[in-house]
Amino acid sequence: MSTGIIARKVKCHISTALRYLRKLKASKQVIEQRISNTINLWKLTGKRIMLIDVDSTIPNLALMKISSFYKSKGDNVKLVKIKLKRQKDGTLKEAVKIDLSDKPDKVYASIVFKANKHVLEDVAQQYPYIDIGGSGYNLQKELPPEIENMKPDYSLYPDCDYSIGFSSRGCVRNTKTCPFCIVPIKEGHYRRTQHPSEWFCENFDKIVFLDNNILADKEWFMEITSWCMEKGLSIWFTQGLDIRKMDIDVARRLMAMKTYKMISFAWDHIEDEATIKEKIQVLRDIGFSKNKLRAKVQFYVYVDNDSDEEYNSGVYRCRTLKELGCNAYVMYNIDNERSQRIKDLQRWSIRKIFYWMNDISDYKTNIKESKIKKKLHGASA
């Protein structure tokens, strides 16, 4: 392919394309063939690998590791991010189409959410060599060790400004204590995996832990968070921390370290009410003021279905957390259809101005009043 054609395809000036191609040549990613004084032909070296991110809401760690693996072998990697558009009833507006006309040597696709398990069926029938994985597709499928242990390719997601990875896998709980959770099936029992230094990027001052029960091993938690604090990193734990595992030392560590998002705990079972209250008091005792609790601490409140028992349990836990000065964030089983009252409960818990000022019983009235005030304000402006 000539320099001019490449410039037109990427929509840049020919001099810009030539400068970029020479950088790729220096890194041995392309081969240059000069056929005249004015015409250069360029050809990619190595294999062509396509990665398809179907539905990730954050950078897809598995795809980042796959990218690192193939780039380390001198291959070329392309990421395709799909934007799924759905009807009100949840069905796709149109079938997913992926351009494979370039005939890549290998194609990997990742599906995170179970609801999207079948969106690539048509593509897979046409191109059976696609390797599809992800927790939404196959809970038993794992990356080979030589890929799993790779440092993520952060260049795959240019907007990513944080290091991301697992320092542990699995959980000390099981499907009997948490029947709704896929972690015991997907990852098994708790175990340490990688120290964050193995996947940390020096360009970033933020770090994200994907661990599913990072408090299961106190010694490991204290070690890796000490390392983060020494580096001056701001931390985010994406999964709800198991507050039942929190003692005064862990509470002090949570108080001392820098975080750039809410410290999230989980309250899944109504039976844990006494423990939840006891642990929130521990946070107060070590220095979490009323304002700090409200500003930094939230609880994921899991609601499995729309039965009266589950719904009322969710409402009770949210109200209790509010009385204790903590935020609630209702998480609903995505495999079940959301009724209007479940949607309202979720929206009430997420919209903090309504959560803190009013009860769920007043939510709809307050929403209507808020909309009327906005219209009146707009009309008078």
Q: Tens digit of pLDDT for each residue in 286-298?
A: 999 999 999 999 9
The span from the CA of 323 to the CA of 356, in Å, is 10
pLDDT at position 15 is 86
* pLDDT given at position 107: 94
So where are the chain's domains?
A: 1-45, 46-137, 157-370
Rounded to whole angstroms, how far apart are CA atoms 132 and 105? 15
Give the per-residue pLDDT at 115: 87
Residue 143 confidence (pLDDT) = 95
Residue 316 has a pLDDT of 98
Please report the pLDDT score of residue 174 as a whole number: 81
| Residue 371 confidence (pLDDT) | 63
Under 8 Å between Cβ of 303 and 313 = yes
- Computed over every residue of the chain, the mean pLDDT equals 90
Query: What pLDDT shows up at residue 30?
Result: 76
**Residue numbers of the chain with a pLDDT score lower than 50:** none
Task: Return all residues near 29 (Cβ < 8 A) that are at least 6 apart.
Answer: 44, 45, 46, 74, 76
| Residue 180 neighbours by CB distance under 10 Å | 13
Sign of CA pseudo-dihedral 147, 217, 195, 178: positive
Q: How far is CA 352 from the centre of its chain?
A: 22
Q: 172 in helix, strand or coil? A: coil
Tokens standing for residue 252: 């002090």
Fold of the domain spanning 46-137: Rossmann fold (3.40.50)
Residue given tokens 């006494």 in the structure block: 274
Q: According to DSSP H, which parts of 11-166 are helical? A: 14-26, 61-72, 121-126, 145-148
Distance from C-alpha of 381 to C-alpha of 377, rounded to nearest angstrom = 6
pLDDT of residue 45: 67
pLDDT at 376: 52
Q: Which long-range contacts (CB under 8 A, 24 or more apart) does 132-135 make?
A: 132/108, 133/62, 133/108, 133/109, 134/54, 134/62, 134/109, 134/110, 135/111, 135/182, 135/186
Residue 134: its pLDDT value, please? 95
pLDDT computed for residue 86 by the predictor: 79
Q: Closest Cα partner for 327 from 263, 381, 272?
A: 263
Radius of gyration, CA atoms only, the chain: 25
Q: Please answer whether residues 75 and 68 qualify as being in contact, where contact means their C-beta atoms are separated by less than 8 angstroms.
A: no
3-state secondary structure of 63: helix
Q: Are 107 and 84 contacting, i.e. CB atoms less than 8 angstroms apart?
A: no
Report pLDDT for 44: 65
DSSP code per residue over 258-305 = -BSS-EEEEE--GGGHHHHHHHHHHHHHTT--HHHHHHHEEEEEEE-S
Beta-carbon contacts of residue 19 (< 8 Å; ≥ 6 apart)? none
From residue 58, how far is each of 47, 63, 181, 208 by CA, in Å? 27, 12, 20, 10
CATH superfamily of 157-370: Aldolase class I (3.20.20.70)
**Residue found by looking up tokens 């390392």 in the block:** 227
Beta-bridge partners for 330: 301
Would the pTM of this model clear 0.75, i.e. be above it?
yes
Say how many residues make up the chain. 381
